[in-house]
């Protein structure tokens, strides 16, 4: 049973790494800690408070304060392991309002939080893609308009040169 649990934690860590790696967040541990907090409080968080992060050789701890819809204050501490200079994006230990969160509850909250982050990443990616496509379309329209104006100018110049050549009789005779 223990290897399965380790595999599950590794799977959640990988999904979280991929999820947060695709987001625009400059602090993936904070993003994940907030997403886990939302899951552990049944999405009742109405406001985020102070956040802090401490860093040691072996781990990073992210602390998040929040207020629920009922006005109750709370805090969550998420501890992330460090390996070879890289910090995990899935917490290995979480404390909610001073109480350690059991591993099975942490696993469940972590999976749901990862899904939430993936969904947000997907929505952000779609929105950004649409924005970039609109910008590219507008830029292409401007470039096309500019190219059309240049083509018109060149055609006008060529027509003028042909008319001058005709007036001077400098027309190449191709009837042979």
* Residues 87-114, mean pLDDT to the nearest whole number: 88
- The pLDDT tens digits of the residues spanning 117-151 come to 776 665 566 666 777 767 777 777 777 777 777 77
Rounded to 5 degrees, φ, ψ at 47 are -155, 140
Question: How far apart are the C-alpha atoms of 50 and 35, rounded to whole Å?
Answer: 15
DSSP β-ladder status, 73-83 and 99-100: unpaired
- 15-58 pLDDT per residue, tens: 444 433 333 357 889 999 999 999 999 999 999 999 999 999 89
pTM, 2 dp: 0.56
Distance CA 56, CA 80 (A): 10
Question: Which residue did the predictor score with more confidence, 157 or 101?
Answer: 101
Please report, for residues 17, 68, 81, 147, 152, the alpha-carbon distance to residue 33 in angstroms, rounded to integers and kept in the order given: 13, 16, 14, 52, 60
Q: Does the pLDDT value for residue 10 go beyond 60? A: no
């Amino acid at each position: 049973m223990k290897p399965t649990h380790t595999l599950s934690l590794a799977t959640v860590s990988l999904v979280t790494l991929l999820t947060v790696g695709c987001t625009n967040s400059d602090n993936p541990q904070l993003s994940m800690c907030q997403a886990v907090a939302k899951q552990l409080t049944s999405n009742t968080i109405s406001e985020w408070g102070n956040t802090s992060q401490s860093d040691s050789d072996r781990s990073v701890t992210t602390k998040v304060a929040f207020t629920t819809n009922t006005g109750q204050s709370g805090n969550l501490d998420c501890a992330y392991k460090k390996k070879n200079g890289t910090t995990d994006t899935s917490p290995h230990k979480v404390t909610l309002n001073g109480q350690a969160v059991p591993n099975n509850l942490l696993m469940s909250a972590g999976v749901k939080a990862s899904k939430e982050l993936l969904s947000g990443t997907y929505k952000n990616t779609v929105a950004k893609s649409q924005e970039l496509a609109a910008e590219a379309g507008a830029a292409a329209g401007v470039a096309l308009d500019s190219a059309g104006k240049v083509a018109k100018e060149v055609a006008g110049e060529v027509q003028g040169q042909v008319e001058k050549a005709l007036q001077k009789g400098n027309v190449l005779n191709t009837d042979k």
